[in-house]
Amino acid sequence: MESLSNKKKVLEVKPLNFWEKAYLPAIAKGLSITMKHFWKKPVTIQYPEQKREFSENFRGMHSLKRDEEGRERCTACGLCALSCPAEAITMTAGERQKGEENLYREEKYAAVYEINMLRCIFCGLCEEACPKEAIYLDGDIVPSDYLRKDFIYGKDKLVEPPLNQ
């Protein structure tokens, strides 16, 4: 098949000499680059002992907030789950019973609230969609684990502890 421009580029291949055939200059150049990097300061952070400084807009692990009186802010409206592009948030709404006024702000609350951290892309849309300012991505790095089921965080891991404790 002919090229559209009908321009051909002629390549001239010069023969290799003995040293180039033996690849010795290339090996020496590679070793010199390796030795330069060997004496430089390492850029690796030794994680458990040293912590990396994050920017102000870092999005870490999710946390469900409480109000000033220690009650959960989440009213299970579902806007965070609807705004999540990865569909990582699931919740089940429950109705507040008598005697639970000090636990929940509204009559409706999230009886089950789960976030699949393997699906979450930490985009922050759930944080922006929440009308009650109940969810924030202000935690630390999500810790690693071996089992997939351990990455589904429920209210036990997400709700911040009450202020009076």
Q: What pLDDT sits at residue 1?
A: 54
Q: Which CATH class is domain 61-158?
A: alpha beta
Residue 127 annotated in ligand binding: no
Domain definitions of the chain by residue range:
61-158
Residue 108 annotated in ligand binding: no
Q: What is the 3-class SS of the chain, one letter each residue?
A: CCCCCCCCCCCCCCCCCHHHHCCHHHHHHHHHHHHHHHCCCCCCCCCCCCCCCCCCCCCCCCEECECCCCCECCCCCCHHHHHCCCCCEEEEEEECCCCCCCCECCCEEEEEEEEECCCCCCCCHHHHHCCCCCEECCCCCCCCCCCHHHHEECHHHHECCCCCC
Instruction: Evaluate if residue 128 carries a pLDDT over 90.
Output: yes
Res. 139 pLDDT band, cuts 50 70 90? confident
pLDDT in tens, 2-27: 666 777 777 888 898 887 888 888 89
DSSP character at residue 109: E
Residue 55 annotated in ligand binding: no
Residue 74 annotated in ligand binding: yes
Residue 99 annotated in ligand binding: no
Q: What pLDDT sits at residue 164?
A: 65
Residue 130 annotated in ligand binding: yes
Residue 138 annotated in ligand binding: no
Mean pLDDT of 61-87: 92
Q: What pLDDT sits at residue 4?
A: 67
Q: What pLDDT sits at residue 130?
A: 94
